[in-house]
Amino acid sequence: MRYFNTEGVCRPNEHYMVRLDARLKTMKELYVDKGKYFVINRGRQYGKTTTLMALAEYLKDEYIVFPMDFQMMGSSNFADEQIFTAKFIGLMRKLFSRKKEMMKGIDIEKFQETLLLEERKNGSLDLMFESLSRLCEASERPIVLIIDEVDSASNNKVFIDFLAQLRGYYLDREDSPLFHSVILAGVYDIRNLKLKIRPEGEHQYNSPWNIAASFDIHMSFSTGQVTDMLREYEADHHTGMDVREVAEIISQYTSGYPYLVSAICKIMDEKLPELEGFADGKCIWTTKGVDEAVKIMLRSKTTLFDSMMKYISEYPNLKKMLYTILFQGEQVAYNEDNHTIELARMFGYIVDDGAYVRVANRIFEMRLYNLFLSEEELANAMSRMAKQDKERFICDGRLNMELVLKRFVEHFTGIYGENDTKFVEDYGRKFFLLYLRPIINGVGNYYIEAQTRDAGRTDVIVDYAGEQFVVEMKIWRGNSYNERGQEQLVGYLDYFHQNRGYMLSFNFNKKKEIGVKTIKVGTKEIVEAVV
């Protein structure tokens, strides 16, 4: 029986997975068949390895494929050219000893000559490439080189020289044949790879291999692809789920990030049946089940989240940018020449949303909010107040959002009411989240709607025990702006099929009326809190 996989390569005969046929066909026709040298750089656990292994299988009838994984090469293998060459050739030997069917069309004599380099004490990159060139020229079919985890290379000198040789042979390919196509895959792209292995400023943009074709194939899963995957699961398990609806909810949380999609499905399939309230199986493959799976995943320690914490710690400017976007509604224009923006994009944490960047998906957003808020929770007075008040907000398992707003207004006014406008603009909305988090922690989730986030307003969607609350947090910009905000909130309530919404206004008018009131806007009811 197939299952959802989040560790290693996904295989269609073993795992429920998105079909890659269309992607592989496009990669072959647009890149491999045209003899391109290109780089696939995506964030951790974005399906790169799965795609590459599937591509190798897809190409095998027309090409000889050398699929390699640089994770198999330890740091000592980059000590010098002789050691690197021996290891590289050794990986080739092991590959074809295991999969002899892949050698169809290869020149055996030239291949054996190449393998002798593994034992040579004076091996070098020059000798290796000369031998590989003769092998490629003599073989009956074109040879394609695939290197996964290329940014595992730890020694800049040997690896940069390796890339330089590839570049040289590519530019001189009519006289010195080599691989028909080369595919490198990793988190770092070629331009930024040097930032990882040699970060000094003078070397940042001097790549020795600037001939890489731009790889523009979308690797996120579409809602349709997730739907097709769930249809296969439903055909095997007969859960009765609304396949399209569940796929749409998963897509809303993940924006199609491959690992996150599989992880949510895996939790629903394997962990939810063990939980109270899901044991009968009826609620698992529903909105409620997806929400619960997300909560479990956000509390989990995964390599993906570990990498995120590592990079945020290593790159303070990256952390600062994400913090500013999330808490201050800063609209950061996308600029690929900005090193911090490019790092965030490369790691998969942001996407280009037209003119501006946004956090790539709700899961990442919630994880980042939880990180940033937890760093301040212990020292923040609003968080302490929330912990003291927590029990009064929950009645019969339901969250009283109106009371949350009332108590927040009281505490915020008492503690921060005398601070200046700039302080409130920068920190007001963050303090509300610091107040909210301990109240819903463990039972509820919240996320910020990216399309409504700006310097003036932010919509928070709170899920608590299956009930949703739409809370608009905004900076007061006058009556007309407030009325537009009310109209926007009404539209958002329609989208979520809600009749009641909530508005938290940070008002700097000295004549403002602090407190909470309920107003009617059309058929909708809005609870408006003013601080």
Number of independent structural domains in the chain: 3
Contact 53, 95 (CB under 8 A): no
In this structure, the answer to whether residues 407 and 259 fall within a common structural domain is: no
Nearest to 359 by CA among 294, 447, 242, 258: 447
Co-location of 296 and 395 in the same domain = no
Higher-confidence residue: 456 or 385?
385
- In whole angstroms, give the CA distance from residue 377 to residue 384: 8
CA-to-CA distance for 162 and 148, rounded, in angstroms?
A: 15
Residues 230, 178 share a domain: no
Task: Please say whether the beta carbons of 58 and 191 come within 8 A.
Answer: no
Give residues with Cβ within 8 angstroms of 314, minimum separation 6.
Answer: none
Q: What is the pLDDT of residue 264?
A: 97
Residues 351-362, mean pLDDT to the nearest whole number: 87
Q: Is residue 422 part of a domain?
A: yes
Q: What's the N-to-C CA distance of the chain in angstroms?
A: 57
SS3 content of the chain, % helix, strand, coil (to 5): 55, 15, 30
Whether 106 and 249 map to the same domain: the answer is no
Token pair in block for residue 178: 């080599």
Query: Around Cβ 108, how many Cβ atoms within 10 Å?
Result: 10
CA atoms within a 13 Å half-sphere pointing along the CA-CB vector of 358? 16
- Give the span between the Cα atoms of 356 and 275, in whole angstroms: 41
pLDDT value for 200: 46
> Has residue 164 got a pLDDT over 80?
yes
Higher-pLDDT residue of 336 and 472 is 472
Supply the DSSP symbol for 3: B
- Chain centroid, CA 423 distance in Å: 32
Report yes or no on 444 lying in a domain: yes
Domain boundary among 174, 203, 232: 203
**pLDDT band for position 199 (50/70/90)?**
very low
Are residues 115 and 235 both part of a single domain? Answer: no
Boundary residue ending a domain (300, 332, 366): 300
Domain CATH code at residue 123: 3.40.50
**Least confident among 75-79, 129-133, 314-318:** 75-79
Identify the pLDDT of residue 476. Answer: 78
The pTM for the full model equals 0.84
Whole-number pLDDT of residue 175: 86
What's the chain's length in residues?
531
pLDDT of residue 205: 43
**Confidence band for 326, pLDDT divided at 50, 70 and 90:** confident
Is 511 contained in some domain?
Answer: yes
pLDDT surpassing 70 at residue 190 = no
Claim to verify: residue 171 and residue 230 sit in the same structural domain:
no
- Does 312 reside within a domain? no
In a domain, 310, yes or no: no
Looking at the fold, whether 399 and 278 belong to one and the same domain comes out as: no
Pick the more confident residue, 5 or 77: 5
SS (H, E, C) 217-234: CCCCCCHHHHHHHHHHHH
Residue bearing the bigger pLDDT, 510 or 97? 97
Tell me the mean pLDDT in the region 97-111.
86
Structural domain of 242: 223-300
pLDDT at 409: 92
**106 shares a domain with 197:** yes
Q: What is the mean pLDDT of residues 164-186?
A: 88
- Percent of the chain past pLDDT 70, that is, above it, reads 92
410-427 tens-digit pLDDT: 998 888 877 767 777 777
Q: Quick one: 139 and 109 in the same domain?
A: yes
Are 42 and 175 members of one domain?
yes
Q: 460, 471 in Cβ contact below 8 A?
A: yes
Q: Do 38 and 76 belong to one domain?
A: yes
pLDDT at 95 over 70: yes
Query: Pick from 251, 281, 300: which residue ends a domain?
Result: 300
Mean per-residue pLDDT, 297-301:
90
Q: Are 405 and 531 in contact (CB under 8 A)?
A: no
